[in-house]
Amino acid sequence: MSARLNIFGSPLAGQVLKHFVAAGKVLADSSLPAATQELVKIRASQINGCGFCTDMHTKEAAAAGESAVRLHLIAAWREATVFTEAERAALELAEEGTRTADAAGGVSDEVWANAAKHYDEEQLAALVSLIALINAFNRVNVLVQQPAGDYRVGQFD
């Protein structure tokens, strides 16, 4: 299987993705916990059907010490007992923020208030930005049908 478009070989796509990556580095350096960031990226990628990002972020999370049990239960986080209340709030915000077209009112006040109980304003800004950024990455990869499975940890460092 090959992608519809070689985004890694395109000068224009390269310029755009350079800015996406730079934004990601700002978020990685934020006070939002790294484990929470990976959980959010994985969950949004699952919802969007982005195999490339799901592959990348599960491998990166595992390499950073995330347990296999938690990685396997992200899609079923509501029923899982392995996530903190703060992580659950972030996952719920990620789901509603990713599925805005499915919800007439976008992110509900209840979901926002729950996230705000666990994260300060800078962390909320990071979380909102992270959800938007991973959704952008997902859409690029889904549009071009970027193949999944061959990602190597640190491949884009």
pLDDT tens digits, one per residue of 75-86? 999 999 999 999
For 15-31, the DSSP string reads: HHHHHHHHHHHHHHTSS
Q: What is the predicted pLDDT for the residue at 104?
A: 67
Domains, the chain, in order of start with CATH, read 34-144 (1.20.1290.10)
The pTM (predicted TM-score) of the whole model is 0.95
